[in-house]
Amino acid sequence: MHAYRANIVYTPTPDAFRYVELGYVVVNDEGRVVDVFEHLPAEYASVTVTDFGDKLLMPAFCDMHVHAPQYRNMGLAMDMELLPWLNTYTFPEEMKYKDEAYAKRLYTRFVHELWMQGTMRCAVFATVHLPATLLLADLFNDAGMGAYIGLGGMNRHSPQPLTNTTQQVVAGTIQLVEHCAAYSNHRVRPIVTPRFVPSCTPDMLQALGDLARDYQMPVQSHLSENMSEIAWVSKLEPETASYGDAYNKYGLFGQTPTLMAHCCYTEGKELQLMRNNRVFAVHCPTSNCNLASGMASVRTLLDNNVPVALGTDVSGGNHASILRVMQYALQVSKLQYTNSHGNLRFLSLSETFYLGTKAGGQFFGKVGSFEPGYEFDALVVDDHYLNFDNYSLPHRIERYIYLGDDRDIKFRFCSGQLINEPKQE
């Protein structure tokens, strides 16, 4: 048992922050929150207290869509839309991960970057290369951070060096399952990862759907990101009612817990199917701006009871910070409020913080909040340079969301464990 003292901020529900000034989070020996207290109750009087003084203590971030092998391209190559961007910039970079030494060097930096940004849980696309993918899983495990790791499935409309066969992706994913099962904790886990409908034949999609069912593994992919992509999918899968229905047909759309990135143009039947199947929409507003994809309406998704989380989508996203994705989620929702003449209510600050913490955290179990029973994933933030004039605690968290960055994060915890800086080289 251990107690942490600081200014505590979290979102049990989307509609409001809970603030506890100089309060206590008591964490049990399994790394789970016992409860949050304004004053430490007598029964915990003998518990060791770590006092973080006037700092902020908040849930760590969950990045629910990010491409590890695009890390070198982060902040680059933003002058094309999705499909030419993939062919010109992204696929050539991903091909390099056949080289394990390159993969080790770059993946080490990638894991360090997420650590730096306060992201303690993520859902990651790797490449089609199994050795590099196992290595990525090891790096997250060594760091103590939580991650779903996906070996990419790609067997059509992709450059040959970046393809695998149905048999390879299925066998590789099973190897990844076994590899992760050997870790002493279960923070790093496999996820079934067809890249997107255009890169996978029906045979591969069906095999991956069967695999997800047989191993009760979650699924991640891309959905309705860009108009040209959507038109292409409807040509490739003319029998389906929507892009989402193409995944659904093969058991890849909520049959097990499913993350679908983007959903910029999700509406009608696709929206219904997402709601009915409890498929997560992962909102990646930075990426959607950078690749001129458009604006997903988080309000429409939420109003239709589709679960929504946030993703940086590196390197479509130009940075790996969920804090900055929160800013963009707020701002894009305001542009949609204006475009809709006020019909689409813009996101509130607490809703947006919830999306980046508890909403994504659900995918890992009880993660992303400080309610009793939640794994203690937390950031200790020193905002003294922002708090130069006695701001209230609500104003401090607002300024941290709009102005803070990685240098403010002093300590990071995942599942109760202090996560030290991972080795960079």
At its nearest, how many Å lie between a copy of itself and the CB of residue 325?
13
Residues within window 305-324 making contact with a copy of itself, judged by CB under 8 A: 318-319
Nearer to a copy of itself, 39 or 388 (CB): 388
DSSP bridge pairs for 63: 122
- Alpha-carbon span 359 to 352, nearest angstrom: 10
| Binding residue (CB under 8 A) for a copy of itself from 295, 366, 371, 393 | 295
Interface with a copy of itself, residue 181, by CB under 8 A: no
Nearest Cα to 271, choosing from 238, 230, 234, 224?
A: 224
| Binding residue (CB under 8 A) for a copy of itself from 305, 338, 343, 420 | 338
Interface with a copy of itself, residue 334, by CB under 8 A: yes
Largest CA distance in the chain: 67
String marking each residue 64-83 x if it binds a copy of itself according to CB under 8 A: --------x-xxxxxx----
Interface with a copy of itself, residue 267, by CB under 8 A: no
DSSP bridge pairs for 420: none
DSSP bridge pairs for 147: 122, 188
Interface with a copy of itself, residue 101, by CB under 8 A: no
Q: Which two tokens stand for residue 362?
A: 């659900």
At its nearest, how many Å lie between a copy of itself and the CB of residue 69?
13
- Alpha-carbon span 189 to 183, nearest angstrom: 9
- Alpha-carbon span 100 to 105, nearest angstrom: 9
At its nearest, how many Å lie between a copy of itself and the CB of residue 373?
32
Angle ∠(316,321,323) on CA atoms, nearest 5: 125
Interface with a copy of itself, residue 395, by CB under 8 A: yes
At its nearest, how many Å lie between a copy of itself and the CB of residue 168?
29
Interface with a copy of itself, residue 331, by CB under 8 A: yes
At its nearest, how many Å lie between a copy of itself and the CB of residue 306?
22
Q: Which two tokens stand for residue 245?
A: 């229905």
- Alpha-carbon span 220 to 194, nearest angstrom: 7
Interface with a copy of itself, residue 389, by CB under 8 A: yes
At its nearest, how many Å lie between a copy of itself and the CB of residue 146?
25
- Alpha-carbon span 178 to 176, nearest angstrom: 5
| Binding residue (CB under 8 A) for a copy of itself from 208, 325, 386, 414 | 386
* Residue 117: alpha-carbon gap to chain centroid: 12
Q: Which stretch binds a copy of itself (CB under 8 A): 7-15, 139-147, 360-368, 402-410?
A: 402-410
| Binding residue (CB under 8 A) for a copy of itself from 19, 91, 232, 337 | 337
Residue 145's CB is within 10 A of a number of other CB atoms, namely: 25
Place of tokens 């963009």: 328
| Binding residue (CB under 8 A) for a copy of itself from 292, 304, 393, 416 | 292
Nearer to a copy of itself, 189 or 299 (CB): 299
- Alpha-carbon span 425 to 402, nearest angstrom: 32
Whether cis (ω within 30° of 0) applies to the bond prior to 315 is yes
Are the C-beta atoms of residues 302 and 348 closer than 8 Å to each other? no
Which residues here bind a copy of itself, judged by CB under 8 A? 72, 74-79, 106, 109, 286, 289-295, 318-319, 327, 330-332, 334-335, 337-338, 346, 348-349, 386, 388-389, 395, 398-399, 401-403, 405, 407
